[in-house]
Amino acid sequence: MSKATIPKPRRTKSQIAEIKARFLAHYPQAKTELNYRNMYELLVCVMLSAQCTDKRVNLVTPAFFARYPSVQALAQADIAEIKDLIKSISFFNNKAKHLHQMAQQVLEHFQGKIPTTQAELKSLAGVGQKTANVVLLEYCQANVMAVDTHVFRVSHRLALSNAKTPEKTEQDLQRVFVTELSNLHQAFVLFGRYICKAIKPQCSQCFVQEFCHKDKTRKKPKPKAKITLQ
């Protein structure tokens, strides 16, 4: 995408620097809340977490990894058994198929090791750009930004992007912040999950409130009709 087609940020450089500094100060060394022990487990967790809470994923994965402790075990699994283990996860039918295919692809194309580049990760079944970037920034501390529902909401409320898609929002955030993207992603996720919620945001706890234009992005209620006494 050419520079001419990328929307300009609504914030000044000094405002962006201040927002960045506050997030890094409030969430030093922030990490995902998914429980994992290696890159295989992280990839599975992130795939399961799509449109599902980390809390729910963490309830499911202990039994899952006990049954399938490696890519090799998952590749040989029965899909019906995978579905049974993850049936409380949203979209478990598709996710079970993707997990099985992913494991087989890792064995066939990557000698049983989870790849560590965005392009290679995206070649796996069920792995899009957001999932690939989350794995890379969490496990490899790569300087990439992943845009989930929390990052999308926060970045728009703070007028860091006005893009209509996660992909273009990612481009905006990478362009305005440039460095420490992995830490900022984790910080935005935690901030969006516990403070800048979609419904009933905890504005009294917000440390960037002066930069928020939430009221401008929400539909305002229609004014009540005036009642006149005759």
Indicate if 148 belongs to the active site.
Answer: yes
Catalytic residue among 3, 84, 95, 130: 130
| Radius of gyration in angstroms for the set of CA atoms belonging to the chain, rounded to a whole number | 20
d(CA 155, CA 185): 10
Long-range contacts (CB closer than 8 Å, 24 or more residues apart) made by 171-176: 171/1, 171/6, 172/6, 172/7, 172/9, 173/145, 173/147, 174/144, 174/145, 175/6, 175/9, 176/9, 176/11, 176/16
Catalytic residue among 8, 78, 87, 148: 148
Handedness of CA 114, 86, 57, 68 (dihedral sign): negative
User: Cα dist. 141→24, 125, 133, 185, 207 in Å?
Assistant: 15, 23, 10, 11, 25
Would you give the end-to-end CA distance of the chain in angstroms?
63
The residues annotated as belonging to the active site are 130, 148
